[in-house]
């Protein structure tokens, strides 16, 4: 099975080439050429442990790697990196289920994919006889940066630079990045907000000649299919846990509520459903930035709206890149190209009634405010002694609205994307405590009042040496990248 661009079905590459490129040359995203080829017997998948499930799922999506190599990639990717034996444990909370995706080295769900992507990429380079060194450039609003730096640290043949908004992230997120070791890693603070950093990175991709100093550029954002596929696995893992616990019978549909930003995580759920997993509805939870909620309701995507900074910052987004993949599956390449052109030129597009009703078979959206999220954190702690982070809370509040509208006909799994200790100030405030603004003291306070432990990787950041001190302007990014690319070369 090959991959094609969402904007041109004639642009075809192998799965390993798709991982290597990240984005297709025409600006489209890579998708499997034929979804029906992904079908498998999910009962066989859920009979395996997490690694076994990952091997089966990866095998379908990445056929040109071969079975032996997939085995070795999965084993390397998930060995000794996650604190939970099950990798993504499912806990029963107050009649619903929370899928804890934050047990990896940087305490957010992005670790699940960024533990595997470096291995997928370095093996793809070998398979395609790719001689250049690879330089990963990534703009981050916080969580991707630390997970990507950690994942790519000390991977041979690859260097990585992340760009974070100097003032736009939490102190914990900043310390996670600037203390990251590995001779092949660099973190730059950019004077400006996330959009400035992201626009700057997009410009680097357009303007830097390739290869530059024998280095080729690639991306670790969720536009890369190699980031999406590892996330498909935990939809199976949640289903397996429900079956094993006797909560459902094999064949029962399960709904998943997903805190959504770039539409990557929820897209993985759609792919799991295409593979044959009995997924019911995929509930797309948004914060006050409700562009996806409106789209799923009306078919009108409109980015010309105010941008709000919320207490779930990893979901503060106006252009959800992975939605393009869904558009392709529902509308085809020509329409997708037309809609994306309209989005770029006018800031909006409208899909047809027919296309919208197809999307509504699988998806629905709810938006929740910071206040609704905070109330959910307080309530769940009071009723069930469970502490969740601000992103998970938006999803929990969205599943409240879903249950209000549709009733509890199917089991509901809420995806939990970060440890509450990554967003300690907001979580403390939601529990009625005053945050001090000092993340270390606030973590200790949160631990004290909830009786939960501070995750090891987060308590360690306050003691680690700061390795990355560069704060730069957007127009210095080009020179810094060129300098970094030529380091160690004559």
Ligand X SMILES: *Cc1c(COP(=O)(O)O)cnc(C)c1O
Residue closer to ligand X by CB (options 391, 445) is: 391
Instruction: Tell me the β-bridge partners of 93.
Output: 96
Residue closer to ligand X by CB (options 265, 480) is: 265
Instruction: Tell me the β-bridge partners of 215.
Output: 133, 212
Among residues 336, 335, 338, the alpha carbon closest in space to that of 325 is found at 336
Minimum CB separation from ligand X for residue 109, in Å? 6
Q: What is the DSSP string of 124-170?
A: HHHHTT--SEEEEEEE-SSHHHHHHHHHHTT-TTEEEEEEEETTSS-
Minimum CB separation from ligand X for residue 143, in Å? 3
Minimum CB separation from ligand X for residue 490, in Å? 40
Distances (CA, A) of 27 to 17, 33, 205, 261: 15, 17, 11, 20
Minimum CB separation from ligand X for residue 310, in Å? 12
Residue closer to ligand X by CB (options 5, 320) is: 320
Count of Cβ atoms closer than 10 Å to residue 26 Cβ: 12
Residue closer to ligand X by CB (options 215, 296) is: 296
Count of Cβ atoms closer than 10 Å to residue 101 Cβ: 27
Minimum CB separation from ligand X for residue 446, in Å? 17
Instruction: Look at the block and give the residue holding tokens 């080295």.
Output: 105
Residue closer to ligand X by CB (options 292, 333) is: 292
Minimum CB separation from ligand X for residue 333, in Å? 23
Judged by DSSP in three states, 325 sits in: helix
Distance CA 18, CA 6 (A): 12
Distance CA 205, CA 188 (A): 17
Instruction: Decide: 103 and 84 in contact? Cβ < 8 Å.
Output: yes
Minimum CB separation from ligand X for residue 198, in Å? 13
- Detail the DSSP E strand segments found in 250-385: 254-259, 279-286, 300-302, 348-350, 363-367
Instruction: Look at the block and give the residue holding tokens 């549909």.
Output: 253
Distance CA 245, CA 240 (A): 8
Instruction: Look at the block and give the residue holding tokens 């380091």.
Output: 487
Residue closer to ligand X by CB (options 13, 415) is: 415
Instruction: Look at the block and give the residue holding tokens 């089966």.
Output: 56
Minimum CB separation from ligand X for residue 274, in Å? 17
Residue closer to ligand X by CB (options 13, 292) is: 292
Could you tell me the two tokens for 8?
């041109």
Residue closer to ligand X by CB (options 125, 364) is: 364
Minimum CB separation from ligand X for residue 142, in Å? 7
Residue closer to ligand X by CB (options 293, 417) is: 417
Q: Which residues bind ligand X (CB under 6 A)?
A: 108, 110, 143, 222, 259-265, 314-315, 391, 417-418
Among residues 434, 381, 476, 460, the alpha carbon closest in space to that of 175 is found at 460
């Amino acid at each position: 099975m090959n991959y094609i661009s969402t904007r041109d079905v004639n642009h075809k590459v192998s799965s390993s080439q798709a991982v290597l490129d990240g984005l297709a040359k025409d600006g489209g995203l890579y998708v499997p050429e034929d979804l029906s080829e992904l079908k498998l017997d999910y009962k066989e998948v859920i009979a395996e442990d997490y690694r076994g499930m990952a091997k089966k799922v990866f095998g379908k999506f990445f056929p040109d790697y071969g079975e032996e190599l997939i085995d070795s990639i999965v084993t390397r990717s998930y060995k000794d990196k996650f604190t939970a034996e099950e990798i993504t444990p499912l806990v029963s909370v107050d009649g619903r289920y929370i899928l804890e995706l934050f047990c990896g080295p940087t305490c957010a769900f992005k670790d699940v994919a960024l533990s595997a992507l470096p291995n997928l990429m370095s093996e793809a380079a070998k398979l395609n006889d790719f001689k250049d060194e690879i330089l990963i450039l990534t703009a981050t609003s916080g969580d991707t940066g630390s997970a990507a730096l950690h994942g790519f640290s000390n991977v041979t043949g690859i260097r990585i630079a992340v760009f974070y908004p100097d003032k736009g992230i939490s102190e914990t997120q900043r310390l996670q990045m600037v203390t990251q070791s590995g001779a092949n890693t660099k973190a730059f603070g950019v004077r400006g907000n996330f959009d400035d950093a992201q626009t700057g990175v997009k410009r680097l991709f357009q303007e830097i000649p390739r290869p530059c100093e024998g280095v080729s550029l690639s991306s670790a954002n969720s536009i890369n299919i190699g980031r999406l596929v590892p996330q498909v696995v935990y939809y199976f893992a949640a289903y397996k846990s429900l079956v094993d616990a006797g909560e459902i019978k094999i064949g029962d549909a399960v709904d998943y509520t997903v805190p959504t930003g770039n539409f990557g995580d929820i897209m993985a759920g759609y792919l799991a459903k295409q593979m044959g997993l009995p997924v019911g509805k995929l509930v797309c939870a948004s914060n006050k930035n409700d562009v996806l909620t409106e789209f799923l309701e009306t078919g009108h995507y409109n980015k010309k709206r105010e941008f709000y900074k919320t207490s779930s910052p990893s979901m503060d987004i106006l252009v959800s890149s992975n939605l393009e993949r869904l558009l392709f599956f529902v509308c085809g390449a020509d329409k997708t190209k037309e809609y994306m052109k309209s989005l770029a030129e006018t800031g909006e597009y409208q899909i047809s009634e027919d296309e919208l009703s197809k999307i509504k078979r699988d998806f629905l959206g709810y938006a929740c405010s910071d206040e609704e999220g905070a109330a959910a954190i307080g309530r769940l702690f009071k009723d069930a002694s469970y502490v969740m982070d601000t992103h998970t809370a938006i999803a929990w509040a969205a599943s409240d609205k879903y249950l209000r509208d549709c009733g509890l006909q199917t089991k509901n799994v809420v995806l939990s994307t970060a440890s509450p200790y990554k967003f300690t100030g907001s979580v403390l405030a939601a529990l009625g405590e005053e945050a001090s603004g000092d993340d270390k003291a606030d973590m200790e306070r949160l631990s004290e009042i909830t009786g939960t432990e501070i995750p090891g990787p987060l308590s360690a950041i306050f003691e680690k040496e700061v390795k990355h001190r560069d704060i730069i302007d957007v127009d210095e990014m080009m020179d810094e990248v060129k300098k970094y690319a030529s380091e160690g070369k004559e």
